[in-house]
Structure 1
Amino acid sequence: MNPISAILPEDAPFSPEQREWLNGYLTGLLAPFAGGAEQAPTGIPITIAWGSQTGTSEGLAKKFAKAATKAGLQPSIVDLGEFDPASLTTLEHLIIITSTYGDGEAPDNAQNFHNFLHSDAAPKLENLNYAVLSLGDSSYPDFCQCGIDFDLALQKLGAKPIVARVDLDVEYDDDYASWTSSLLGELSSVEVASDDDDEDTGYNKKNPFTAEVLQLENLNAEESARSTTHVEISLKDSGLTYEAGDALGVYPINDSQLVDDLIDALGFDASEEIDGKPLSQLLSEDYEIRNITLPLAKAWAEASASESLSALTTADDRAALSDYLWGREIIDLVKEHPISFASAADFLAMLKPLAARLYSIASSPKAHEDEVHLTVGVVKYDSLGRERKGVCSTYFSERTDKAQPRVFVHSNKAFRPPADPTVPMIMVGPGTGIAPFRAFLEEREATQATGKNWLFFGNPHVAQDFLYQDQLQQLQKDGYLHQLSTAFSRDQEEKIYVQDKMIEHGADLYQWLSEGGHFYVCGDASRMAKDVDKALHQVIETHGKMSAEEAAEYVNMLKADKRYGRDVY
């Protein structure tokens, strides 16, 4: 009979080391109920700390804790935002599972821990054994950078890796299973069978629901330079449920013209079957055929024996490679650095699986039963004499008549409207960043919440790009949108952005925060979200009469109290 192992709730009022000790103590007390005191676990206690922006790392931390318990270990789980760095000197085994966010940054809840490890206050950690599992997307240049930073910092402080760090890409199931097996093999003598846990029931990422598109509408005026598609999808009979703040995962299909052009450029036969599917279908439905990731660029440089591409991929300064890759797709590699493939299967082996795209849900389930709405910015531009198209955005705007979207719900517990319906809510969502805040406002209207709501929205032109204008103005009339601050950047000579509006209304914004208000931002991570964060610090410093250090501590307090939510990409 397996021993019983206790895991205290994450919100239990104990420090990580106290929770670790209590988990072991309680496990010992429970042992007689598992068939006798002689079956008390002898496994070591481990602390599993997670850094997550959208919940994926948190989910993997809980999954790993289950596997560790089955292996006879004594795991405790802790949010890195609540982890006391001083306890590092008292721990013997630390497992870090973290994502990377924005431009190679730590998730919000892991920023303080990241700063501590790289500060002069970080102690020597010769007695600490650790492992790092890093999550990321190799389509981005700073792939898994936060996990890399943690790994290097811990080694520099003298900590010893139990197993080598593993960097997980978007499709990570096999690599996660291998890392789990290796790590548990080092920590325990108990063999644990592979466990797909409860994710295998119902529709999910591995088993998406084939949905029906109910409505598509361009939210921009015809003369606008932008195109934003409002998408309404039926979830009827799917059993899928979601909450305001969650995301919808969508598996798209690739543009058929790009598929045909790629096959022609490679000299393959579109009808050739590989694993029972024609090549054209595989490239349409199963593989990424646009973005050039760094691993692909390196592999292509080696296979093509291209000296120029090799120099770009091996240089310490990635700026030149980024400049080269901008506006280029895999078909450009095929033409500029040709490879003589022995077979189409060899070419496919170099590609990533076609990953789902996550979109912030733009509806409340309380307002739209059995439906989910999205706000999708259409990506189309010309580069190197060729029109380029975003895979999923043009799938909705141009190709949904060819296949029904396969979807699943991605929960984001860290991005929710305030649980207390009476507290103020401040939302900053320019462009398609308005999506979750439409959901938040619908949620507050459906529940007749009495808390004040303030939306900052921006786009280029009021006459062409005021997304959901009619609905927002109706919410104002109905008393559910108490303040709407807009920044239409190109309607005047001097450009105005949402962060400028925050500073303009700084006194009121700080008053709302002082009343317990929650602050949210959604949209571009590389520029907008950073500018908004800087403006937030400035508002607090100015109107709270604080020093820069005190304002930073105030913002950290907002994050610790779960009152500062970010859904940025």
Structure 2
Amino acid sequence: MTANGAPVTKRILFQIHWFLGITAGLVLALMGVTGATMSFEDEISEALSPRLYAPGVPAGPDLSPDQLIARVQADNPGYYIARLDWEMARDRSHSVRLSSSEGRGRKQGQVDRATGAWLGAPAGEGFFHLMDDLHRWLALPGGGNGIGRQITAFSAIALIFFALSGLYLRWPRQALDWRAWLVLDLRKTGRNLWRALHVVIGTWVLLFYLLSALTGLWWSYDWYRQGVIYSLTGKTPSEEGRRSEKRDGIAPRPSIDPAWTAFRRATGNDYIWVRITQPAPSQPMKTISFDARPEGARHLRQTDKYSYDPASYALEKRDLYDRRPLGVIITQSVYELHRGAFFGLPGRIIMMLTSLTMPLFTVTGFLLYLSRRKRKQAARALAGDVAAVAGGDMGGGDLLIAYASQTGTAEIRARNAAQALAHGGVRAQVVPVGRLTRDMLAGAQRILFVVSTYGEGEPPDMARGFASRLLRGGPIDLGHVHYGVLAIGDREYPDFCAFGITVDGWMAGAGAQPLFPLIAMGHDDEAAEQAWHDALHDLGAGEGDRGQMVIPFTPWRLVARHALNPDSPALTAYHLQFEPVGTDVPEWQAGDIVELHPCNAPAAVEALLASQAPEGDLIAVPAALRAELARAMLPEAGTPLTMAAARALRPLPAREYSAASIMADGVLDLVVRQVRDDDGRLGIGSGWLTAHMVPGETTMMRVRPNPGFRTDPAARGAMILIGNGTGIAGLRAHLRAAANDGMGGHWLLFGERSRAHERYFDAELSAWLADGTLARLDRSFSRDADCGRYVQHLLADAGAELRERIGKGATILVCGSLEGMAQSVHQALIAILGEAMLNDLAEVGRYKRDVY
């Protein structure tokens, strides 16, 4: 299977898996419950009617087999005894099965061993008969010859497919780790819990379901039964013996008693139970056979067979169970295998429990299907809104919205603006600025630019080509165009919104007329938010936020945290894992960004509180005040701390981190390095996550789509992943997605400090090398004397292979620090590929960066 073929295979198997699940799932659930109900039918029947099975030792002697058969058949005209189960213990009654001499009528019950009197059927016979009909053919008309048998047979085949395809679909990356297969984490909620129940318990019961389905087909198809017999015994059913042809009239019936006497004389008390069978009256009795079960047998078919000549009553054959070939034993014990009794009482219990779990897979499968359908409908609705407002790819529209985004914020705002305008009846096209041409600008009437500034006043990667082609190109006359600019940036940088200001100046210099003054927006900038809202409203946007891509913050619980470089002299980096608290699990992809609201160090809050007089609001509401201060920018010591004052404090800004996992992992992973201020105190964000927050505690988080660092598995070639330090987070997510999709052949170049301490996720990387997810792994260790190189040096040494991979359609993904690594890597890539090619790759989404 090729790397590209594996995800296709998975998608096809997945589609068939869920389609069969919603069609055959209910039937399998019913078959599982009914099968489990019948697991202990004999024991339950006897418990319900104990005197029927064990009436006590009779006063008179036992009737012989011939006498008992004659008495029972005389009392039941039109029926013959097809099967007599003889109990050796004299306090127990015998079981008989009566079959109609004509037709398919049947009776089953207990008879008195001394008189042959009919004692009746057990109390639960009707119920178990219904369970049997439901289990075999859904109690539909036609019985074993009707459509019900075909439905249950198809469902058994579906169960085999479920087991095998489910095993393939859930194959873990660490296949040799038993925990990856068998450990069920009940701390999960919602969709993650449903999936965990479905796949983990499915693994527990997989072998039992395969056994149940493969043996169940024995009664569904004659060709299957014949094939199994031949494969296990080397004989065809004809060689095993066929039922005699039916004749007119009554065939001679030899006496059984002489053979019975010989059998008892030879075996004595070796057996506790013997089955005597008879053919229909119209068929000759070619042999008199006794199937005898010893005490301690594991299952009902563990019997020895004694065959006597009906003329001379001499023993023809003694077929002992323990001396039969295994294949023969299996073909004679299919029913016992089917219900688990072949493996004794533990096997019956396990098979009963696994059968009872069948509805679990139907329920969880339906929940997962409905959840997936709901999400896909929401995605289609959102896509439909965008398509509607876009008016097609590059077709006509009232307004053109061009975005330049590095982490997805500008793109989301651009699409939100288009949807808001659509609700007011204004059509808008949404395009990345990299696709703008001079002709498009010249043909437009109104243009909105939603652009981010990146790094030290630079354009986002996707806008580098636009900047070089248009902004730095020759003059252009845009006097007929009306435009507006929303510039997004970070006020902590001196070149706040520099790229947006550049675009605004270029449009004004080309003669374009402003629709509104440039709006420069930073984090949590309420004034800019209001100005943008007013600008859109003036352009005709509808009120409300229907269809807006607004992602709320929700509580997430920290479930695990461990140091990645515990003994390193460098600052400690941690691997953290979170799970959502509610049942509504957000979706995310590799490349997305996690935003979270940190809290102040508890010691800092307590120190501030201790500096205040213990009176007033502080005494009245200490817990509420602490909660407010934990989330706010702390004031100077001595500031009055009333509740009103605390609520007026500026909230702590959200922190952003690269998601280090994918949804299939069930947890949201982060990689966070501790940051310390000049006075040695931990930074607010890293301190909260790595030191002050304890496992089990919650924090407010959200996962924000980052189209600028996402990739399309169906469209991309192999990835070239480049990064350093905690940048392993975003690269790891992409590798986990590739491994989950079965797409291999990728190349990771990664820079770390020392080989001894900073080999982050080394076991995973080694496993990906082994299974082909990674075709090549290059690492540099800048602090090691025998290396002393950085990741850009690795690139320079591998320029030829880099160019070759780019020529084959590879995508470059860079994640890590902006200062030093990202800039040096960018220059190395320019030296290898050329600036024009690198800009072209960025515009078409084959050069993406998540740097900070």
Indicate the TM-score class for this superposition, using the shorter chain for normalisation: 0.7 to 0.9
Specify the code of the residue in structure 1 equivalent to 2:706.
N
Give the Cα separation in 1 of the matches to 2:756 and 2:597.
Answer: 33
Identity of aligned residues (%): 28
Give unmatched runs, 5+ long, in structure 2.
1-383
Q: How does 1:385-464 map to 2 (within 5 A)?
A: 386-401=679-694, 403-420=697-714, 423-450=717-744, 452-464=745-757
Q: How does 1:30-45 map to 2 (within 5 A)?
A: 45=398
1:281 maps to which of 616, 627, 634: 627
Q: Cα gap change, 1:180/1:422 in structure 2, threshold over 3 Å: closer, same or farther?
A: closer
Give the Cα separation in 1 of the matches to 2:747 and 2:714.
Answer: 16
Partner of 2:773: 480
Structure showing greater radius of gyration is: 2
State whether structure 2 residue 825 is matched by structure 1 residue 527: no
State whether structure 2 residue 852 is matched by structure 1 residue 554: no
Give the Cα separation in 2 of the matches to 1:270 and 1:142.
Answer: 45
State whether structure 2 residue 475 is matched by structure 1 residue 179: no
- Aligned-pair distance for 1:418? 4.7
Is contact 1:48-1:75 (8 Å) kept? yes
- Aligned-pair distance for 1:491? 0.3
1:513 maps to which of 806, 817, 841: 806
1:210 maps to which of 555, 570, 583: 555
Partner of 1:259: 605
With a CA cutoff of 8 Å and minimum separation of 6, indicate the structure with the bigger relative contact order: 1
Specify the code of the residue in structure 1 equivalent to 2:784.
D
Is contact 1:362-1:438 (8 Å) kept? yes
Is contact 1:97-1:133 (8 Å) kept? yes
1:248 maps to which of 594, 612, 625: 594
Q: Cα gap change, 1:501/1:278 in structure 2, threshold over 3 Å: closer, same or farther?
A: same
Give the Cα separation in 1 of the matches to 2:393 and 2:780.
Answer: 43
Q: Cα gap change, 1:270/1:354 in structure 2, threshold over 3 Å: closer, same or farther?
A: farther
Q: How does 1:21-420 map to 2 (within 5 A)?
A: 22-23=396-397, 45-172=398-525, 175-185=528-538, 187-188=539-540, 192-195=542-545, 197-199=547-549, 204-205=551-552, 208-235=553-580, 237-261=583-607, 271-272=617-618, 278-285=624-631, 287-289=632-634, 352-366=650-664, 368=665, 370-381=666-677, 383=678, 386-401=679-694, 403-420=697-714
Give the Cα separation in 2 of the matches to 1:267 and 1:136.
Answer: 41
Q: Cα gap change, 1:78/1:224 in structure 2, threshold over 3 Å: closer, same or farther?
A: same
- Aligned-pair distance for 1:116? 4.3
Specify the code of the residue in structure 2 equivalent to 1:562.
G
Q: Cα gap change, 1:348/1:440 in structure 2, threshold over 3 Å: closer, same or farther?
A: same
Is contact 1:52-1:107 (8 Å) kept? yes
- Aligned-pair distance for 1:440? 1.6
- Aligned-pair distance for 1:567? 0.8
Is contact 1:263-1:270 (8 Å) kept? no
- Aligned-pair distance for 1:472? 1.0
- Aligned-pair distance for 1:136? 2.1
Give the Cα separation in 2 of the matches to 1:434 and 1:9.
Answer: 38
Specify the code of the residue in structure 1 equivalent to 2:561.
L
Give the Cα separation in 2 of the matches to 1:396 and 1:8.
Answer: 42
Give the Cα separation in 2 of the matches to 1:47 and 1:267.
Answer: 59
**Is the helix fraction higher in 1 or 2?**
2
Q: Which moved more, 1:263-272 or 1:411-420?
A: 263-272
Root mean square deviation, CA, Å: 3.3
Give the Cα separation in 2 of the matches to 1:139 and 1:262.
Answer: 26
- Cα offsets for 1:274-315 (capped at 9, x unmatched): 999855432311x245xxxxxxxxxxxxxxxxxxxxxxxxxx
SS in 2 for 1:380: coil
SS in 2 for 1:60: helix
Is contact 1:421-1:444 (8 Å) kept? no
Give the Cα separation in 1 of the matches to 2:647 and 2:494.
Answer: 22
Specify the code of the residue in structure 1 equivalent to 2:807.
S
Is contact 1:268-1:344 (8 Å) kept? no
SS in 1 for 2:472: coil
Is contact 2:722-2:815 (8 Å) kept? yes
Is contact 2:482-2:514 (8 Å) kept? yes
Is contact 1:64-1:180 (8 Å) kept? no
Q: Cα gap change, 1:461/1:278 in structure 2, threshold over 3 Å: closer, same or farther?
A: same
Give the Cα separation in 2 of the matches to 1:418 and 1:198.
Answer: 23
Give the Cα separation in 2 of the matches to 1:270 and 1:487.
Answer: 59
2:764 maps to which of 446, 449, 471: 471
- Cα offsets for 1:478-536 (capped at 9, x unmatched): 22211111110010277310000100111112111111111110011233211111101
SS in 1 for 2:757: helix
- Aligned-pair distance for 1:89? 2.9
Is contact 1:245-1:361 (8 Å) kept? yes
Give the Cα separation in 2 of the matches to 1:172 and 1:238.
Answer: 29
Is contact 2:612-2:641 (8 Å) kept? no
SS in 2 for 1:528: helix
Q: Cα gap change, 1:270/1:135 in structure 2, threshold over 3 Å: closer, same or farther?
A: farther
Specify the code of the residue in structure 1 equivalent to 2:575.
H
- Cα offsets for 1:376-409 (capped at 9, x unmatched): 111124x2xx223222212121122294122211
Q: Cα gap change, 1:277/1:85 in structure 2, threshold over 3 Å: closer, same or farther?
A: farther
Give unmatched runs, 5+ long, in structure 1.
24-44, 290-330, 541-550
Give the Cα separation in 1 of the matches to 2:606 and 2:475.
Answer: 55
Q: Which moved more, 1:409-418 or 1:208-217?
A: 409-418
Is contact 1:364-1:442 (8 Å) kept? yes
Give the Cα separation in 1 of the matches to 2:385 and 2:746.
Answer: 45
Partner of 1:539: 832
- Aligned-pair distance for 1:416? 2.5
Give the Cα separation in 2 of the matches to 1:106 and 1:169.
Answer: 16
Is contact 1:251-1:357 (8 Å) kept? yes
Give the Cα separation in 2 of the matches to 1:128 and 1:534.
Answer: 37
- Aligned-pair distance for 1:7? 5.3
Q: Cα gap change, 1:11/1:379 in structure 2, threshold over 3 Å: closer, same or farther?
A: farther
Q: Cα gap change, 1:443/1:70 in structure 2, threshold over 3 Å: closer, same or farther?
A: closer
Specify the code of the residue in structure 2 equivalent to 1:354.
L
Q: Cα gap change, 1:535/1:275 in structure 2, threshold over 3 Å: closer, same or farther?
A: farther
Is contact 1:233-1:373 (8 Å) kept? yes
Q: Cα gap change, 1:8/1:470 in structure 2, threshold over 3 Å: closer, same or farther?
A: same
Q: Aligned pairs, how many?
A: 467
SS in 1 for 2:651: coil
- Aligned-pair distance for 1:248? 1.8
Give the Cα separation in 1 of the matches to 2:405 and 2:656.
Answer: 15
- Aligned-pair distance for 1:473? 1.4
- Aligned-pair distance for 1:165? 1.6
2:847 maps to which of 558, 561, 564: 564
- Aligned-pair distance for 1:265? 7.4
Partner of 2:138: none
